[in-house]
Chains A and B, each alone.
Chain A
Amino acid sequence: MKKKLVKEHVVSVLLLRLPATPNIYDVVWDYEKSMISFFSNNKSVSEDFETLFQRSFNKHLIRIFPYSAADLLSNLSDQERDTLSHLSLTKFME
């Protein structure tokens, strides 16, 4: 048990001494169109960016994926949006 605690302590001390590895990701903010392009598809990196953006600018980002693109960017009428919310998977095989 004592050996395990010593090992954990040594690992945590050594980890603190390790220099952080920087990763750089490009971001483009089209202020007029209220659009941000974030150049990474990594899920955790995207989430970190969303959090950082929220903290920095006090603005909430909306991620664009099929439903949000359809609902927010496709100029659908109320009736079309209602149809959208009831859609289900199409089977192309017969």
Chain B
Amino acid sequence: MLDASISYYRYAFLGCEFLTWVWYSVSSSDINKLLKKGDSLEIGNKIVLERTLHDSFEKITIKGKDADLEEGIISLKKGAVVKEINLLYKSGEKEWFFTVTGETLSLSNIKTPDIGFIETKNAVDGFAIEKIFLYNVVCYLISDLFKIFIKIRVSDKWLSVVSDIRKWINT
């Protein structure tokens, strides 16, 4: 494996491409084929895009529940990449909100389904284990989606995916 400090910067674009692919897959409903039956993934309340052209640098942040993502699409048309995306994952009646950062693949602002309160001292362990389990649900979800993405990314199929994404951006 390459030195981490080199590969971190050299291949940071993979994380941003992954987030663009997730956004496209959510918009085209293709994502549902990749999830467990009945589960769903939606764009949450925030997308951050960045564009660097020559010496200029642009950062576009779209925030708000049910926000119109049109400005984001326009930014993609201009060559911006998705740096950060907030997602809503639904499984049964449970909902997780979380933000994924492309460059690091790190998760933040994770809001898990409610698990009640700690009423006795003995319940602390159970509470912690359940909370960790709920955090892991989104960790494994993103990890599994990234594995699917990277398999496509290193295959010839990527060319047709890029073509589909371009069509989506331009419609």
Q: Which of A72, A87, A91 contacts B153 (CB 8 A)?
A: A87
How many A residues have CB within 8 A of the partner chain? 30
Residue of B nearest to A80 (CB): B154
Task: Give the tally of cross-chain contacts (CB within 8 A).
Answer: 95
Asked whether B76 is an interface residue with its Cβ less than 8 Å from the other chain, the reply is yes
Contact B162 A66 (CB under 8 A): no
Contact A92 B101 (CB under 8 A): no
The residues in A between 42 and 94 inclusive whose CB is less than 8 angstroms from any CB of B are 62-76, 80, 83-85, 87-94
Residues of chain A at the chain B interface (Cβ within 8 Å): 28, 37, 41, 62-76, 80, 83-85, 87-94
Interface centre among B101, B103, B150, B158 (most CB of A within 10 A): B150
Contact A67 B14 (CB under 8 A): yes
Q: Which of B1, B12, B139 contacts A72 (CB 8 A)?
A: B1
Q: Which of A72, A76, A87 contacts B14 (CB 8 A)?
A: A87
Contact A65 B8 (CB under 8 A): yes
